[in-house]
Structures are given as C-alpha cells and as structure tokens.
Structure 1
Amino acid sequence: MRRLGPLLIVAVALGGCGFDATGVSPVVIDTPVRWGGEPKVPSRTVQGEGEVDLRWWRSFHDPELSSLVDRVAAQNLDLRTATERVIQSAAQRGVTAAQGLPHVDGSSTDMYNRASPNGILKLVQGAPGAPLEFPLYNEGLTSSWELDLFGRVRRAVEAADAEVLASAEARNGVALAALAEVAQDYLQLRGAQTRTAIARANVAVAARNVALVEDRLGNGYATTLELAQARAQLATVTGTLPPLLTQEAQLINAIGLLLGETPRALEGELKPPRLVPRVPRTVPVGLPGTLVRRRPDVREAEAHLHAATAQTGVAVANFYPSVTLTGALNLQAIRFGDLAKLSSTAWNVGPSVTVPIFEGGRLKGQLELRESQQREAAVQFQKTVLQAWQQVDDALTAYAQAQRRRADLARAVGQNEAALAASRQRYREGLVDFLNVNQAEVQLLSSQTDFADAETQIATDLVQLYRALGGGWDVVDGPGAFDHPAPVGPPGAIPTLIDEAIR
C-alpha cells in the first residue's frame, strides 16, 4: 500500500479531567490513499476502486452457494449464540440505566407481638391497663432517587450503550466469519470433487495403458517389466481416490455443522459433483479509508474504546459526593380499623449526602485501573485498524498471484497432455519404452491436480479478500433477527470515532 495519504486522527478520550473525563490523546494512523498495485492478469481485472459488493457470494453465479449463505444466516448456531449475547448486553444496559431513576418500594408488616415486662418496659411508664400482647399493623412506601449531579450514572449508561454496540459488532463479526467459512468450505468441496473427477479420468487412462501393454506383450513387443510398471501406475492413481473422497465427506459435514445440521444431512444435496464456480472478472475493493466503516472488528474495537472512556468518567465521578433524595410514608396502628385515620400517618423526607473522605486508596486505584484500560483499548483500536489494512493487502496479493499461477499451470496441462499423447503414440510404434508413457502420465496428473487446486485457490482467496473487506455481514439483520430487541438510545446518541476520523 502507498503511504502517501492524509493522517487518520482518532480523538480518543484518555485520562479524566474533571467529572466529564474530557482529556484527550490522539491516535494517529497514516492512511493509505489506495491499495498497492498487483500484477495485472490478462483474463481478469484483479481489482477496481468502486463500491465493494456487499452480496459478493452472488458474483459466483452459483445458486447452491447462495442458498447455503441464506441458510447459514438463519441457522448458524454461533450466530444465534452471539445474538443472545447482544440481548444480554442490552438487558444489562437497562439494569445500569435504572440506577438513575427513582426507586419506590412498598412494605406491609402485620404482626402479633408480646412485650416483656422485664425488658425495655422497665425504663418507660406504660399506659395504665395497657396489655403486653397486641397486634401491630404497619403499611408504608419508601422511595429514593440518586441525583446524578456529577455524571456517574450518565457515564455508566454511556459505557453500557457502548458495550451493547460492541456485542452487536461482535455478532456481525461472527456472521462475517460464518458466511466466509461456508463459502470457502463449499468452494473447497467443489475443488475436491473436481480433483476426484480428474483422478477417475486418469484411472481410466491408466487402465487403457495396462490394456495397451498387455496387448503388446501378447504380440511380443512388450516386456513383463513394462506390464508391471503399467499396473503399478494404475494402482497408484487409484490410490489417490480414498483421500479425496474422505475430504469430500468432511467438507459436507463441515458445511452441515455451519448450518446447524447433523452429519451427512446435506449429503444428498451436495454429493452430486459440480465444477468450482468461476470468479467475477472485476472485483471492486473500495478505498482504504472506507474499510473501517465496514469491518465489524474495527467497529467493535471502537465501541470497546468508547466504553473504556466512559468507565474512566465513572471512576472520576466516584470522587465526588453522592446526593440521594429519600422519603417514606407509613401507616401504623395496633387496630386494623385505625389505619385509615390521619393520626396513624408517619412520614419523613430529605436528602442524603455521602462524601468519600478516606477510602484507603480504593478510588485512586480504580481510576488508575480505568485509565490504563482506556489506554489499552486505544492501542487495541489502532492495532485492529492496521491489521484490517494488512489483511486486505495480503488478500489482494494472494488473489493476484493465484491467478498468475493458474495461467502458468494451464499452459503446463496443455503441454503435458501433448506429451502424453506423443509418448503413447511413440510407444505404439515401438520407438520408446513404457517408462516414457508412465512419466508423461505422472506429470499430467500432477499438473491437472495443481491446476484444479489453483482454480479452487483463486475462488477461496477471493472469499478471503471479501472477508477482509468486511462485506456481507448485514445479510443476517433481517426481520426477527432479535427475539427481544432492547432500545440502546436514539440513533446518533453515541458518536463514533470512525465517523470523526474519516469525515
């Protein structure tokens, strides 16, 4: 990547200043203007700077792949687990927000009592004839409301909002990984089936070679050594089939697991062999500066940084007094009928102020902890952005070089096919021994297998590129994505560092 672009400056609140913790320390990242140029491949345009295709699996024009992607978005168990974590995080946000609201509790105590004449009654003058045994009815309401004068609750809610966003982005990351994994497994499955077809074709060729040698041996033109070589080659080629069939079964089961299916459940659907889908001729990759808006891991790191910043504000606010308004209203009587009388009323109301005077260093230590966690989150955010750019750059290189390798292997396959045909013809004419035919067949099988692997590698490298570009995870956000949606504040309530950085 070229390093000639403008600076990406992310203002990250580091360290508290007053109860709002507004001190900032910038994270500066040198933004590339464009992705580095890779060698152009005559058959395809490796990349373009248009908008990234967010439904990239459709560019393979394979209905089966599109069907699998649709189902993994609805059935993947890891995605369902991540969705539950978002719901849990939203519920925890509600618990945190409740700290800033008034609390009202009701109480009812109806008890039959007996006072000891040798107890506290010895210190007071009881009413004449007052019984020692009596009922006592006590009905009341108590309320409290902590006034968030110094922002402790407000910053705690802000941190909880950021954690909800972080859990949502983590879910998006799980979705992106699931989509990429099912696509890669599917493409590898088709590659394994292609290699299986190649191996079976070579088994047929080897069998014809055995028949050819046997015929020449019967006519006295071949030797038993050549027959042994032909039969050994047939056995060798046949021996390549079991590992390929094993890989095929494992990939079908891997896809089934991603879809939450039992082993072999998709065998009837995926067992019929198909070729590896061809990649599109043009692959837009966008600009480096827009990558951070799509990558769930970058957005998650940003949300964690925001949460850590807000938690620092909470730690600062803990140094300030806590003011709580409290009140109580009670009805108390020894006869149930007297509860309705005004004279049975008792109440109290007033503020309660708690001032931290000596905490043994607890508050200071907690603030230092939060500030360190905030700085760590800032470093992790910076690292995540750099990793995102690196992964895209690496994927671009791998995709381009895989296409160059495919072009070279295509020429090798053509030459080896010509060599095998020529060697078999010359063997029929008695000009060469069977060893030449055997070697030509080995080289052809090797180049055909390598070519099939290259076709698969190109397709899987493209999937890896799309995964690095962060596209497609939003396919899981259809209606009903969350069974128990919880509000996390109005849109725009939490400004994002990314939007500020690339504005």
Structure 2
Amino acid sequence: MAFLLSSSFSSRPLLLSAIAAATLTACSHTTPLAQQEVALPVPAQWHSPVPAQADGSQDLARWWQGFGDARMVTLIEQALQANPSILSARAAVEQARAQVDVQGAALLPSLSASAGARRSKQGFNDAGNSYNAGLDAGWELDLWGQRRNAVRAGEQNLAASQASLHAAHVSLSAEVALNYIQLRSLQERLRIAQGNLALQAETDEMTRWRVQAGLAASLDAEQARQTLAQTAAQIPSLQASVAQAQHALAVLTGQEPAALMADLAAAAPVPLAPQDWALRLPADTLRQRPDVQAQEHKVQAALASLSAQERANFPTLRLSGSLGVSALTVGALTSGASVARSIAAALAAPLFDGGANRAQISAQKASVEQARQAYRASVLSALQEVEDALVQLHGDQQRLQHLATAAEAASNAQVLAQHRYDSGLIDFRTVLESQRSLLSSQDSLASAQAAISTDFVQLFKALGGGWQPQSQDLAAAPLTE
C-alpha cells in the first residue's frame, strides 16, 4: 500500500506526516552497513618447520619458472589460456560486470519514445486520420541509498568473481605442475624397472647355464625366473600410468587426451624445486590467497544487500514527465501540431506488507552470517594448508636422506652378493634378495625425489602463488591479527 503525492492532493500535510512516521519506523530497524570484522586467528609466525631456503626473494606469481623446466612452464602457460575452467571463470567475471552495469543503470533517468497513427469513422462521416508522437521520461530518486547499496553489492560480487578467477589460476597451475612431476617420476621409475629387468634377465640366463652345467640346482633357476617375472609385471602398470598422466596434461591444457603423447613420450628428469624462494608470513599469505579474498568480498556484498533490503521500507520519490504532439497529418507533426506536456512527482511509502520485507531482512541477515562463517572457514583452511605443506616437506626431506643412503647401500650389496655368489661363498637366494632390494630402494628413492618437488608445488599453492595482482581493487581490508 502506498500514498501518492501530486499537486492536486488536498491533504498533503497529513500524508507527509504519515510518510515521516513510516520513515522513522524503518530507520529504527535498519542496521548500519559497517559491521564488526570477523575475528581471525592469524598467528604471527608459522608453527611448522620452515626450510632453510625460504629466505629468498623469488616471486610467487610465476613460481613454476623456478623449477627450471621449460616444458612444464609451457604447459602451465597453455593451460592458463585454454583450460575450460579458466574460460568459464572469465565468463563469470564478465557476467558479474554486466550485472553491475544493470544495477548502475537503475540510478539514472529513463527516457522512451512513442509514435502512433489512428484512423476513425463515425456513421456516414468521412474517415479521419490522426498521428501522434511523444517522449516519456522517468526518474526514481535514490533518496536513501537503496539502489546505491545494490550497486555496491554488485561491485563486491564482481570483485569476488575476479578473485575466483585468480583462485582458478592458482589451482590450475598447481594441478598442471603436479601432473607433470608425476609423469616425469613415472618415467624415471619405468626406467629403473627396465634397468633392473635387464639385470635380472642376465641373472636368469646365467642361472640356467649353471643348471645345465650341473653347477646350480633347478630351484635356483625357478627362483630367478620368479623374480624376473615379478619385475616384468610392474612395467605394464607403470606404462599405463605414464599414458594416463599424459592424458591428464592434455586435457588440462584444453586438448584431447592423446594430443601430447608423442610430445611427452621421451623421458626427462623430474623438475627440481627452486633453491631461492620466499615464505610469506601468515597474514601476508591470507592477503595473497585469492580464495580468501573472494570470501571477504562475498561478506561485503551480503552486507550491502542487507542494507539495500532494509531501505526497502523507506519512501520513494519518482519524477516523471511527458511531451507529446498530435496532428491530422504526418507533415503537421513538425509544425502546427497540438502539443501536450506534463510533469508529475509521486511519493510512495509502504505501510503494510504482511511482514514480507521483515522476513526478507531476516533472510538477508542469515546470508550475511553464512558469508562471514564461510570467510572464517576459508582463513582457517588456508592456514592449515600451509602448515600441512610445511610439515610434509620437512618429513619428506628427512625421508629422502635416509632413502638415498639405503639406495646406495642396496647397490653396493647387490654387487657384493653377485661377486660372492660367483665365488661360491653364498647361496643364490641372497643374490635374488639383493636384486629385489635394489629395485625397491631405487624405486622408493625416485618417488621420494619427486615427492619433494610435489611438496614445493603444494606449498606454493597454499601460499597463494600463481597470479599477479593487477590493481588494489581486490585488496582485502586489513586483517585482524
């Protein structure tokens, strides 16, 4: 229900009093836009062990260049340009930008044009023609900032979409790097398995000769054949995993699965982690993380929407005007036509809506709380990801040292066992055990070396690396530390 105000309204003082009362009532239920910030449990330092090389200055924006692998860099750059998830996120940004334009247009006056023709006849009189043309203008003044708050909510949603695009860059660059490291690790493990298979094939052949010469038992030959078959069984599985990693990289770069199989068929070393890189402090990491920024912008958007909804209780003032001409001929519209003009103002105030707007405000307040808790959850998740990555990296670095020692010892033991067996000092089972141990140790060492590079990728992702801020538009408000 609304009261309309015009120049002909005779009870204008009474109407203005009612509108003023409605305005005061609405204001009494309006929450200020500025809300208390979410308390963020941001520590001053990381609790997990920090690697010694973390005192460098390498930029996180393009962290993959620090691995020194040109092929990996090319794949990541291709993915950032052609991956469907990135293209979809870009489209979401454009959609949000268009929504802001739509909301901003509501702040401006509207103007429309019309034209018409009419032919009429009464009784036996001759038919007559009439023509008209006109302009209509209207403007609803944003007296209380309801529409400005809607525009502000749209701007915050746009900023959240932009941050989500950057978050997609972070996730995609890390995913490509992880798959590439896995591919090179699988190729290295395949090389190790094939090398050990060749060694075991020589042992199997030599054992069969010794059995034929009566120098060894048939049991030795069967054990050698068993070991050879077990190693050979690992190769098809590794080959399949290599092909699957190639497929994954092709799809991540926006190509069909088999597009990169020939290009990535040749084995290459696992890319090594950079030795010069910087570890950001917890508060700096949260400002760098685009997913955290996106959640913060969503909080601001929800607050702006709440403020706009609360102002729906306020009176509205609309100005309108029209200018029209009419004539009996089209040519007369420009000269000698009848001109009609009007200007009007209408003031409307809601008095009773059955509690609908109050319910909408309650729903919007719940949306604000949801956004605030999602923001808090994103902060805690970001801190956990960095701490987990640091712990994993520290543990894998220690594990690598022990596996390197074990692999060296296994290689020496295999050579010694073969020499002692040839000299008749030990049985054949010891030789086979040394060969199995060598394969296992070398395979574990290769996996551990790749795990270090993987850990660094996960750490750079957790730190928010993989995008470059272009402006301060997405800068988060100062975080509570």
TM score, norm. by length of structure 2: 0.90
1:297 to 281, 291, 310: 291
Shift of 1:50: 5.4
2:368 to 365, 369, 374: 374
In the alignment, the residues of structure 2 paired with residue 205 and residue 137 of structure 1 have an alpha-carbon distance, to the nearest angstrom, of 101
2:129 aligned residue: 135
Amino acid at match of 1:107: S
- 1:63 and 2:41 are equivalent in the alignment: no
1:89 aligned residue: 96
Asked whether the equivalents of residues 230 and 438 of structure 1 are also in contact (C-alpha less than 8 Å), the reply is: yes
Asked whether the equivalents of residues 65 and 183 of structure 1 are also in contact (C-alpha less than 8 Å), the reply is: yes
Shift of 1:66: 1.4
Asked whether the equivalents of residues 21 and 316 of structure 1 are also in contact (C-alpha less than 8 Å), the reply is: no
1:446 aligned residue: 440
Provide closer, same or farther for how the CA distance between residues 49 and 209 of structure 1 changes in structure 2, counting only shifts above 3 A: same
In the alignment, the residues of structure 1 paired with residue 301 and residue 234 of structure 2 have an alpha-carbon distance, to the nearest angstrom, of 55
Secondary structure of 2:102's partner?
Answer: helix
Asked whether the equivalents of residues 20 and 151 of structure 1 are also in contact (C-alpha less than 8 Å), the reply is: no
Provide closer, same or farther for how the CA distance between residues 58 and 233 of structure 1 changes in structure 2, counting only shifts above 3 A: same
Shift of 1:319: 0.5
After superposition, give the CA deviation of every residue in 1:284-322 in whole Å (9 maximum; x if it has no partner).
211111012210100100111111010011101101011
- 1:38 and 2:46 are equivalent in the alignment: no
In the alignment, the residues of structure 2 paired with residue 275 and residue 49 of structure 1 have an alpha-carbon distance, to the nearest angstrom, of 24
Shift of 1:215: 2.6
- 1:500 and 2:481 are equivalent in the alignment: no
Structure 2 residue ranges without an equivalent (≥5): 1-26
Asked whether the equivalents of residues 51 and 285 of structure 1 are also in contact (C-alpha less than 8 Å), the reply is: no
Secondary structure of 1:105's partner?
Answer: strand
In the alignment, the residues of structure 1 paired with residue 197 and residue 464 of structure 2 have an alpha-carbon distance, to the nearest angstrom, of 43
Shift of 1:227: 0.6
Shift of 1:282: 4.2
Amino acid at match of 1:144: G
Asked whether the equivalents of residues 49 and 286 of structure 1 are also in contact (C-alpha less than 8 Å), the reply is: no
Provide closer, same or farther for how the CA distance between residues 39 and 99 of structure 1 changes in structure 2, counting only shifts above 3 A: closer
The correspondence of residues 344-383 of structure 1 with structure 2, limited to 5 A, is 344-383=338-377
Secondary structure of 1:239's partner?
Answer: helix
Amino acid at match of 2:420: R
- 1:469 and 2:463 are equivalent in the alignment: yes
In the alignment, the residues of structure 2 paired with residue 39 and residue 323 of structure 1 have an alpha-carbon distance, to the nearest angstrom, of 62
Give percent identity, aligned residues only: 31
Asked whether the equivalents of residues 319 and 356 of structure 1 are also in contact (C-alpha less than 8 Å), the reply is: yes
Shift of 1:19: 5.9
Asked whether the equivalents of residues 221 and 430 of structure 1 are also in contact (C-alpha less than 8 Å), the reply is: no
Shift of 1:37: 4.1
2:406 aligned residue: 412
Provide closer, same or farther for how the CA distance between residues 237 and 51 of structure 1 changes in structure 2, counting only shifts above 3 A: closer
In the alignment, the residues of structure 2 paired with residue 38 and residue 52 of structure 1 have an alpha-carbon distance, to the nearest angstrom, of 21
1:308 to 302, 308, 331: 302
1:239 to 233, 246, 269: 233
Shift of 1:407: 0.8
Asked whether the equivalents of residues 289 and 463 of structure 2 are also in contact (C-alpha less than 8 Å), the reply is: yes
Q: Which moved more, 1:371-380 or 1:96-105?
A: 371-380
Shift of 1:110: 1.2
In the alignment, the residues of structure 1 paired with residue 266 and residue 337 of structure 2 have an alpha-carbon distance, to the nearest angstrom, of 88
Amino acid at match of 2:35: V
- 1:220 and 2:231 are equivalent in the alignment: no
1:281 to 275, 280, 291: 275
After superposition, give the CA deviation of every residue in 1:428-461 in whole Å (9 maximum; x if it has no partner).
1222222111111112111111111111111111
- 1:192 and 2:186 are equivalent in the alignment: yes
Provide closer, same or farther for how the CA distance between residues 36 and 79 of structure 1 changes in structure 2, counting only shifts above 3 A: same
Provide closer, same or farther for how the CA distance between residues 373 and 204 of structure 1 changes in structure 2, counting only shifts above 3 A: same
1:113 aligned residue: 120
Secondary structure of 1:88's partner?
Answer: helix
Asked whether the equivalents of residues 158 and 310 of structure 1 are also in contact (C-alpha less than 8 Å), the reply is: yes
Secondary structure of 1:28's partner?
Answer: coil
- 1:26 and 2:37 are equivalent in the alignment: yes
In the alignment, the residues of structure 2 paired with residue 109 and residue 48 of structure 1 have an alpha-carbon distance, to the nearest angstrom, of 77
Count of aligned pairs:
455
Asked whether the equivalents of residues 179 and 473 of structure 1 are also in contact (C-alpha less than 8 Å), the reply is: no
Q: Which moved more, 1:431-440 or 1:193-202?
A: 431-440
Asked whether the equivalents of residues 62 and 467 of structure 2 are also in contact (C-alpha less than 8 Å), the reply is: no
- 1:177 and 2:177 are equivalent in the alignment: no
Structure 1 residue ranges without an equivalent (≥5): 1-15, 118-128, 478-490
1:395 aligned residue: 389
Secondary structure of 2:323's partner?
Answer: strand
After superposition, give the CA deviation of every residue in 1:214-265 in whole Å (9 maximum; x if it has no partner).
2322331111111111111111111111111111111111111111112221
